[in-house]
Structure 1
Amino acid sequence: MLSGNTSPFTDWPRSLRVGVVEDDARSRETLVAMVGAAAGLQVVLVAANRKEALDLLPRQEIDVLLVDLGLPDGSGLDVIRAARAQWPACSVLVSTIFGDESHVLRSIEAGAMGYLLKDIGAAELVEEIRSIHAGGSPISPMVARTILARAAASLMPLPQSPPPDAAPAEPTATLSAREQQVLRHVSKGFTTEETARAMGVSSSTVLTFVRRIYFKLQVNTRAEAIHEAHRQGLLPD
């Protein structure tokens, strides 16, 4: 028999309250399903864009907020700042296709504690949600290399001017107009089907352009292509 004020639920651990801000419907549904099915996790906020996220944030305290940066009506950075202001104890985990230095550093400055590229699997992402709440700082390997490269560069002496007869700098990749168009759509988070509709071509044609871009940039993934394109000045900041 239970005594006085004892509750049968006193020792039960509270589920982590998770928010998901993701504009791609398929990715959002997958994330919500995976998080909702995971033990000890509870989805308490789901938003498809910046406005929805900012409207919903004050209504429910959140332990971990998963945020995409490329939202259709603005930047996920605004959501990160608002979440940290509204719920200071909330751990913000970025999930995005943008692996360039600018996006990484601005996210950290806004208050993100983890930064993952979208090539991570949904099941692994669930474990990283637990990790960040426990005090970890999940970072994709490519993003970590970017941060380390910046730190190393800041410690290096300024390079001397090359002699007049020095070999010319390595040229950047040359992309066709159509390849550049595909690259811009990819950098904004468009799926293959969305890019095909926007360009008025078939999905297979888009994939052909993507393969050519990968070959010219000497990369193997979408995130690497975006990073290398930014490095070579093929995409605007």
Structure 2
Amino acid sequence: MIVEDDPAFLNRFCRIVMSEPQFEICAAVGNGTAAREALAHTAPDVLLVDLDLPDVSGIEIIRETAQRHPQTDIMVVTVFGDERHVLASIAAGATGYLLKDSLPDELVGLIHQLRAGGSPISPIIARVLLRQLRPGERTPPVDHDHDHTKLSNREVEILAFIAKGFSSGEIARLLSISAHTVSTHVKKIYQKLAVHSRGEAVYEATKLGLLAP
């Protein structure tokens, strides 16, 4: 079962899952209300769920699913890599946590891994969890060469679109600029935040208060 409010991502997830003959989609819905209705009538082997749903928190869907269908393996697929979302999802019952920039190539294999008893997580999420296991770990000093205040208004605007899952092409159309210009801005964002992926950029931007968690 897939719960994802962005139609483009929902369609992409469905195509990837259906490419594996062993998988069957019992429901693919775009909001928490529809997810609850589907879960009242079916117990999926796997639930892929986004956290940023339009009507209900994805964490609530995780908690309700874990209570109603304890045999269901639950994997979060989201743009949010901040500590609060990660820990809340795991506490609610998630057994895997992927950032959307980890997709699509790995998804089928990671679902198999989940069903085999594993807990697939994106590398940056592993770092978040490791920090929790080291409560005395000191926060590294601020690197002023990567000061987030150097981000331009346009870069912050593009970051906000990235956090919502938009592709570079979609951002270009929304802002009436070229895809090449968007890519240039994204590279500058990576450099200024000292990151290497969209998921890391969203995580760092959220931690620094540039994006709402």
User: TM over 0.5, yes or no?
Assistant: yes
Shift in alpha-carbon separation, 1:199–1:34, aligned structure 2, 3 A? closer
My pick for the range that moved more, 78-87 or 194-203, is: 194-203
1-structure distance, mates of 2:72, 2:58: 15
Shift in alpha-carbon separation, 1:204–1:23, aligned structure 2, 3 A? farther
> TM-score, normalising length from structure 2?
0.85
My pick for the range that moved more, 204-213 or 77-86, is: 204-213
Shift in alpha-carbon separation, 1:85–1:205, aligned structure 2, 3 A? same
2-structure distance, mates of 1:128, 1:103: 20
Give secondary structure in 2 for the equivalent of 1:43. coil
1-structure distance, mates of 2:86, 2:25: 25
Q: Which residue of 2 aligns with 1:54?
A: 36
2-structure distance, mates of 1:81, 1:198: 35
The reply on whether 1:82 has 2:64 as its aligned counterpart is yes
Shift in alpha-carbon separation, 1:193–1:231, aligned structure 2, 3 A? same
1-structure distance, mates of 2:93, 2:142: 37
My pick for the range that moved more, 188-197 or 129-138, is: 188-197
Question: How far 1:236 moved relative to its partner?
Answer: 3.2
Q: Which residue of 1 aligns with 2:124?
A: 142
**Greater helix content:** 2
Matched ranges for 1:1-237 at <5 A = 19-152=1-134, 154-156=135-137, 169-171=142-144, 172-173=147-148, 174-237=150-213
Shift in alpha-carbon separation, 1:78–1:195, aligned structure 2, 3 A? farther
Amino acid at match of 2:51: L
| Per-residue Cα deviation, 1:181-231 (whole angstroms, up to 9, x for no partner) | 221222232333443454454444433322221221122210111122233
2-structure distance, mates of 1:200, 1:217: 25
Residues 70 and 189 in structure 1, CA contact (< 8 A), matched pair in contact too: no
Give secondary structure in 2 for the equivalent of 1:94. strand
2-structure distance, mates of 1:181, 1:119: 19
> TM-score, normalising length from structure 1?
0.77
Question: How far 1:46 moved relative to its partner?
Answer: 0.6
2-structure distance, mates of 1:122, 1:191: 13
- Structure 1, gaps ≥5 residues long: 1-18, 160-167
Question: How far 1:112 moved relative to its partner?
Answer: 0.4
Shift in alpha-carbon separation, 1:52–1:85, aligned structure 2, 3 A? same
- Structure 2, gaps ≥5 residues long: none
Bigger Rg, which one: 1
Residues 114 and 139 in structure 1, CA contact (< 8 A), matched pair in contact too: yes
Shift in alpha-carbon separation, 1:185–1:110, aligned structure 2, 3 A? same
My pick for the range that moved more, 116-125 or 195-204, is: 195-204
**Greater strand content:** 1
2-structure distance, mates of 1:209, 1:202: 11
Q: Which has the higher contact order (CA 8 A, sep 6+)?
A: 2
Residues 16 and 107 in structure 2, CA contact (< 8 A), matched pair in contact too: no
